Amino acid sequence: MIDFTKEDPTKDSSSKKSVEKGGRSIPRLTAHLDTLDQGMEAFMQWLRSENKMSNTSNLITLKEFVHTKYSVLYDNTIGKNVTVETPNGVPFCKSCNADDCGHVGFAILLEQKYETDGSVAE
42-91 pLDDT, tens per residue?
999 999 998 888 888 899 999 999 999 999 999 998 999 999 999 888 99
Does residue 27 register a pLDDT over 90? no
Interior/surface letters 26-48, b for 16+ CB within 10 angstroms, e for the rest: beeebbbbebbebbbbbbeebee
- Which long-range contacts link 83-92 to residues 24+ away (Cβ below 8 Å)? 86/111
Share the mean pLDDT of the chain. 79
Of residues 31 and 88, the one with the higher pLDDT is 88
pLDDT band at 106 (very low <50, low <70, confident <90, very high): very high
Q: What is the pLDDT of residue 31?
A: 57
CA distances to 1, 21, 60, 67, 82 from 79, in Å: 9, 9, 10, 24, 10
d(CA 47, CA 88): 25
Q: Could you tell me the pTM of the whole model?
A: 0.74
